Structure 1
Amino acid sequence: MNLLNELIVYQKPKSPISEAYRSLRTNIEFANVDNDKKLILITSSKQAEGKSTTVANLAVTMANMGKKVVIVDGDLRRPRVHKIFGHTKIGGVTEILLSHCSYKGCVKKTEVENLDIITSGQTPPNPSEMLSSNSMKQILEEVRNDYDYVFIDSPPVAAVADAVILSGMADGVVLVCACGRVEVDMVRNTLQALENAGAYVIGSVINNIDVHDKKSGYYYYSPSYYGYCEDSNEKRKRKKRKKKQAQSGLKAASGND
């Protein structure tokens, strides 16, 4: 198996980013003092916000603490967990739901001690229907009983109903937000959709932060992170202002020639 570079806590365990993931792990453990939040869904508002990278690195940090951990790839449409850990996606959630293999027969080992994965399986024609089935609930309950932590990677909330469906089966949800890639209103709508589904949002992971850029924006606060994040709309406006200023400067320079 060849782990991708995005699994930073495995490749560079002493890096600042790895330390940030360990801080996230600590906050998850604080939220689980009663041991009632073992099955945790990791999702985002839209594509390319880093949810799969987050779930993989968080799972590794938990496994490094001696916890028995499994990642379930609940993104049956655009799965990535198998790629991160160097496995094929075949023989996973879809096959378990279709009774082609048992849950334990589909568990795949990783190079990381104490960490297993259950890949997505083949892409079905009806992902939402499969994920909302009683069989899916039973499978997750079985997995929950066998591991200290179960992390589910799901599709983005705004894209399809899958994440909202799975959020109702999870003990808690962590929302990944990428600065400059997602609008504040979309994040609010995502949180509202999760709340309407009865999901318990543990907190948010804010990534893609430019710590040197504090000219405009807003602050996020959640149980898992406090940091500065610039709204993507505001970021675009600022770029336009800079472009206009640069063009004005060029015109002024031309006029002085």
Structure 2
Amino acid sequence: MGINNISVVDAADVPQKPSSPRILINLAVSLLAGLALGGVLALALEQMDEAIADPGEVERRLGLPLLGSVPKVTGDTTPRDALLDRKSELIDAYLAVQTNLAFTTEHGVPRSFAVTSTRPAEGKSTTALALATTLTRANRKVILIDGDMRSPSVHELGGVNHDRGLSNFLAGEDEIASLTFAMADLGFTAMSAGPIPPNAAELLTGNRLTLLIERLLESYDHVVIDSPPVMGLADAPLIASRVEGIIYAVESHGIRSTLVKTALGRLASANAHVIGAVLTKFEAKRAHYGYGYDYGYSYGRRDDHA
């Protein structure tokens, strides 16, 4: 055997505990990293969620004054049924909208205004119908015009057809009385959209709508127009440019704010005056941060005690 120069300096000791992993330190780092990642993810999701959830977001995201929030009608009750019930939550909500409208001009509620939205089924027709109803109950003489000549609906509420109405006048007919019908149960007069024209926008480009509004204001205190939605159509901007103001219906949890901004831009290009927005189909339980009110007061009635 050969001779080597290796010698033992210290005998090896058996470790009493592992050198890694350091469980406590790793747990603390993981906890902090998880909290940071969760916060970033929550913020990202919040930014990605473009739906209008709370009434406060109407002004913050859209830059529009909030005229009021309207609860969603549930069950088998139709909006018209709710409007006929003077103690309904829907009536209370639209009375608040009417009150706010009274502060928008120096003469109170605008004498001529249209109600529109970004897309169909956001509650614009219900809003137009409700405001015509509440103004009538405030002893105002009101006429509701169905301005949607592509998809009319007001005539159905009156149980009549739309053989005669707005499109007849826009096409040159001057007799107004024969184009209207009475909404007896709600107390005001209405005008249907009339026969559906080949191109509704062409009828609206002339001055006939302006003439109609001027003539109606000689007999009525308010002219309310149920306008078509803005996106994809030229009709709404044309109508908006001929009335005193626009009330914009925004569906809660139903429409992206970027789409609404695009639609508002189209109205602005037509020099339309948007008075404010009504947040429709609002559900307080679905609002962000637990929005702090609901419509449960309702003259002492609660659904769970009905």
TM-score, structure 1 normalization: 0.78
Q: 2-side partners of 1:55 and 1:87: how far apart?
A: 18
> Structure 1: which 5+ runs fail to align?
220-226, 229-257
Amino acid aligned to 1:93: L
Higher relative contact order (CA closer than 8 Å, sequence separation 6+): 2
Deviation at 1:88, TM superposition (A): 1.4
Q: 2-side partners of 1:38 and 1:161: how far apart?
A: 23
How does 1:140-151 map onto structure 2 within 5 Å?
140-151=213-224
Segment drifting more, 208-217 vs 62-71? 208-217
Please give the secondary structure, in 2, of the residue aligned with 1:31: coil
Deviation at 1:9, TM superposition (A): 4.9
1:198 aligns to 2:275 (yes or no): no
Change (3 A) 1:10 1:180: closer
**TM-superposition CA deviations, 1:163-211 (whole Å, max 9, x none):** 0001000100000010222110011112221122111111101012220
Q: 2-side partners of 1:177 and 1:36: how far apart?
A: 20
The share of aligned pairs that are identical, in percent, is 29
Match of 1:72 among 141, 145, 168: 145
Q: Are the equivalent residues in 1 in contact too, given 2:158–2:182 (CA < 8 A)?
A: no
Please give the secondary structure, in 2, of the residue aligned with 1:159: coil
Q: Are the equivalent residues in 1 in contact too, given 2:101–2:109 (CA < 8 A)?
A: no
Q: Are the equivalent residues in 1 in contact too, given 2:103–2:109 (CA < 8 A)?
A: no
Deviation at 1:114, TM superposition (A): 4.7
1:22 aligns to 2:70 (yes or no): no
Deviation at 1:36, TM superposition (A): 8.1
**TM-superposition CA deviations, 1:59-82 (whole Å, max 9, x none):** 001001110000111100001111
Deviation at 1:48, TM superposition (A): 0.8
Which 4+ stretches in 1 moved above 3 angstroms?
214-217
Q: In the alignment, which residue of structure 2 is the partner of 1:253?
A: none
Amino acid aligned to 2:94: Y
1:32 aligns to 2:105 (yes or no): yes
1:5 aligns to 2:78 (yes or no): yes
Q: In the alignment, which residue of structure 2 is the partner of 1:156?
A: 229
Deviation at 1:11, TM superposition (A): 2.4
Q: In the alignment, which residue of structure 2 is the partner of 1:170?
A: 243
Change (3 A) 1:113 1:188: closer
Amino acid aligned to 1:151: V
Q: Are the equivalent residues in 2 in contact too, given 1:38–1:149 (CA < 8 A)?
A: yes
**TM-superposition CA deviations, 1:132-171 (whole Å, max 9, x none):** 2122221121112221111011110003010000100010
Q: In the alignment, which residue of structure 2 is the partner of 1:118?
A: 191
Q: In the alignment, which residue of structure 1 is the partner of 2:155?
A: 82
Q: 1-side partners of 2:100 and 2:288: how far apart?
A: 29
Q: Are the equivalent residues in 2 in contact too, given 1:94–1:123 (CA < 8 A)?
A: yes
Q: 1-side partners of 2:263 and 2:104: how far apart?
A: 21
> Structure 2: which 5+ runs fail to align?
1-76, 295-306
Superposition RMSD on alpha carbons, in Å? 2.4
Count residues with an aligned counterpart: 218
Amino acid aligned to 1:110: M
**TM-superposition CA deviations, 1:205-239 (whole Å, max 9, x none):** 1012220123479x9xxxxxxx99xxxxxxxxxxx
Deviation at 1:8, TM superposition (A): 4.2
Amino acid aligned to 1:207: T
1:63 aligns to 2:136 (yes or no): yes
Change (3 A) 1:16 1:97: same
